[in-house]
Amino acid sequence: MSSALQIVEHEGAEPGRAPYGNYRLGAAYDEMFAPDGKVRPHYAGLAESVSIIPAEELRRRQQACEASFLHQGITFTVYSDKQATERIIPTDLLPRIVTADEWARVEAGLRQRILALNHFLRDIYNDGRVLKDGLVPRSMIYGSKHYRREMRGLPVPHDAYVNVCGTDLVRREDGAFVVLEDNLRVPSGVSYMLANRDVVRRAFPDLFRAQAVRPIEHYPRELLATLRALTPVRDDVSIAVLTPGVFNSAYFEHAFLARQMGVELVEGRDLLVNDNVVYTRTTSGLKRIDVIYRRIDDDFIDPLIFRDDSALGVSGLFNAYRAGNVVIANALGTGVADDKAIYAYVPRLIRYYLSEEPILESVETFLCREPKSLSHVLANLDKLVVKAVGESGGYGMLIGAHATKAERAAFAEKVKADPDNYIAQPTIQLSTAPTFADGGVEPRHVDLRPFVLHAQDTVIVPGALTRVALKRGSLVVNSSQGGGSKDTWVLSN
């Protein structure tokens, strides 16, 4: 191919022309192409690279990415009747690019949000001002299965209940980033953010350098600093990552973070509590632990206090926590602030605690507990997505547009029987980003999960996990349902 040809092809990067033969712009906002089919300026470099590199070479690089994940053991295990199969979460070769301006807004919005949510958690576990003022109904808090009575009145370092947060954002048709969901319990995916960067940077080294992509490799260091800030400054603070073990689907991430931070990775069986102090069992004897970054749900953390059938946790851990002898991050009971009904209140919480207008919008949400909303929801079931409040991972959910009449009628009965338990949102067209598929490049729907660290200060590493629905037209980005991920490039100017 002559260089003249390359330039012609680059100038001609547009939907419908190879390798964009199957690129159809729909109603969704497209990350790469403006509605008129022109390449957005910040994607010009990527467009050029994709035009210059032969399809065969692109495919080879894509395979190299996948092989690298397999060799590194970045896999999750699918158990079927007979054998366990290890699979990778596919990484798409083409990075998703976010401009400096877009990122500045996202970052400011996330800072504001985590601050308000931490204020809210402190409030409901202490004075309950927001409940007395009638802003949030008491029943929503005390009825939540993630509310932990045991946390009432307990002091938490820096009043930082949520130390690690993964917030899911999507881009609306009009191009604005809106918050879809906060993950305040044990958010995962940050190892994919880092691993994707590692392989994609190698696939496009020149482009990466030319684009002035902001670095994210310091995430583990920032996480360590955040965990350290939770306990009085001493030289010999001992920190551990608590994992459910090698069979957990996020085990790779737990091991990865422990290794990158240089702290111990422990399982429940490595820990024991004596006299309200937590120890690990080492070859040389018992060693005290000061901070636990736990990757186990509240329910399983201490069989004496929570689920007594849990083999993952540590008996007596909560009492050690209550005694102030160990810090657990995130604090227990944070799940009460990330359920789907509270989500609708977050803009009000931001105004209430910070006296600021929310920087990031939320998705319009109808609370079925409010009679007016309920009748609206029931009348428009075919246009809405209805979700059970306490569920996640796509359970207890109705996507009205894709459901049959009978399914909608059956769901309507469930909603009427227990309206408090349901919320509804309009179907959102997630934005699409160019994705390598069958030798060509096609649009696929994506979301964005940045990770927020918060102790004394808030730190947001300029990057995110971009999840992508690899099936054509699919809006479901979950890895369990055919989702993959992309490297996310935040540009510095």
Q: What residues make contact with other proteins under the rule CB under 8 A?
A: 70-73, 245-246, 251-252, 255-256, 258-259, 264-267, 269-270, 272, 274, 279-286
Vertex 89 angle, CA 87 and 92, to 5°: 135
Task: Tokens 């060693």: give the residue.
Answer: 287
Closer residue to other proteins, CB minimum distance, 246 or 409: 246
Task: Tokens 């949102």: give the residue.
Answer: 425
Closer residue to other proteins, CB minimum distance, 230 or 240: 240
Closer residue to other proteins, CB minimum distance, 251 or 422: 251
- Closest contact distance (angstroms) between CB of 63 and other proteins is 15
Of 294, 261, 262, nearest to 278 (Cα)? 294
Closer residue to other proteins, CB minimum distance, 319 or 429: 319
Buried b / exposed e along 107-126 (16+ C-beta atoms within 10 A) = bebbbbbbbbbbbbbbbbbe
Vertex 413 angle, CA 407 and 414, to 5°: 90
Query: 335 phi and psi, to 5 degrees?
Result: -60, -20
Closer residue to other proteins, CB minimum distance, 268 or 419: 268
Q: Evaluate whether 423 touches 455 at the Cβ level (below 8 Å).
A: no
Closer residue to other proteins, CB minimum distance, 312 or 374: 312
Of 251, 245, 230, 243, nearest to 294 (Cα)? 243
- Closest contact distance (angstroms) between CB of 363 and other proteins is 38
Task: Tokens 């509804």: give the residue.
Answer: 424
Residue 51 CB neighbours (<10 A): 22
- Closest contact distance (angstroms) between CB of 191 and other proteins is 12
- Closest contact distance (angstroms) between CB of 287 and other proteins is 9
- Closest contact distance (angstroms) between CB of 83 and other proteins is 9
Q: Evaluate whether 327 touches 230 at the Cβ level (below 8 Å).
A: yes
Determine the Cα–Cα distance for residues 13 and 454; give it in Å rounded to an integer: 42
- Closest contact distance (angstroms) between CB of 292 and other proteins is 14
Closer residue to other proteins, CB minimum distance, 240 or 337: 240
- Closest contact distance (angstroms) between CB of 254 and other proteins is 8
Query: 458 phi and psi, to 5 degrees?
Result: -105, 130
- Closest contact distance (angstroms) between CB of 282 and other proteins is 6
Determine the Cα–Cα distance for residues 122 and 35; give it in Å rounded to an integer: 45
Of 431, 444, 433, 434, nearest to 470 (Cα)? 444
Closer residue to other proteins, CB minimum distance, 283 or 355: 283
- Closest contact distance (angstroms) between CB of 256 and other proteins is 7
Residue 218 CB neighbours (<10 A): 12
Closer residue to other proteins, CB minimum distance, 311 or 401: 311
The residues, ordered by sequence, that sit 6+ positions from 409 with a Cβ below 8 Å of its Cβ are none
- The kind and range of the H/E element at 365 are none
